[in-house]
Amino acid sequence: MDSFELGPPPAVLLALEPLRAILDYLAGLPGPSKPLPHGDGHPVPVFPGPGVSGCATEGLRQRLQALDYEVHDWEQGVTQWPEDDFDSLLLLLSEQLQRIFARNERPVSLVGWNLGGLYARELAKDHPEQVRQVITLATPFADQPNSTHAGWLFTLLNGGVSPVDEALLWRLSIDPDVPCASVYSPSDRIVGWEECVGNLSEHHRNIEVASVSHWGMLHNPEVLRVVAGLLAEPRHCALRTFIDNCLSRVF
């Protein structure tokens, strides 16, 4: 992507986020209006966003479990930026990933919301042979220091010091060598949607869901439909899907 400075979504729109999140939550309570594809039982760890624990993703995990996946919480409590360095928590998550992989003897799909998506992407870079795909929800992997309202939360959790330097930003923007899908909403009032969009390639695609709040990524029926569809794709077809997606944008 070209380098350019972005600002966070307008602050006035941020005030509407709680109401929109409630509406997305209520919309998701009845469940999907149409049947969703069931999976093959492969493992799916789900990583929460900043300042919350796995309780925030419990509803999504229950829905995915009902679709026949072996779903896992990330087991690290409240999500925050590590006090020492980014890799300290990645090491713990790597140990969990390796345990899940060893028990199932099949690659896992990683699903991450916001900051959780950054961890999922980095895990896939370190262990590509153990990861089937990465699905990120409203994750600013191409983030710049002031492009999201979430930036102030990262700073607060890090003792008042911004935990993100230019070297780390560059590192986070590199795609893993496994199929990745970034699900984003242009109406997100927390994260600038532009920073959730990467370059189309054989390993990356972007999927827009309209009129979904940032918190709604965990509850909105359309997001669930997208995630269920991605998880249900046969592994051997994933690369072909990415190539076809890229070609459709060219011709």
Per-residue pLDDT of the chain (251 residues), as tens digits, is 444 344 444 544 555 566 666 766 666 666 666 899 999 999 999 999 988 899 999 999 999 999 999 999 999 999 877 666 788 899 999 999 999 999 999 999 999 999 999 999 999 999 999 999 999 999 988 755 445 544 444 554 444 445 567 787 888 889 999 999 999 999 888 888 888 999 899 889 999 999 898 989 999 999 999 999 999 998 755 555 544 544 444 44
Q: How much is the pLDDT for 156?
A: 43
- DSSP state string for 57-105: GHHHHHHHHHTT-EEEE--SSS----SS-HHHHHHHHHHHHHHHHHHHT
User: pLDDT value at position 205?
Assistant: 96
C-alpha 154: how far from chain center:
17
Residue-range domain boundaries for the chain: 11-250
CATH number of this structure's domain 11-250, picked from the four choices 3.40.50.920, 3.40.50.1820, 3.40.50.740, 3.40.190.10: 3.40.50.1820
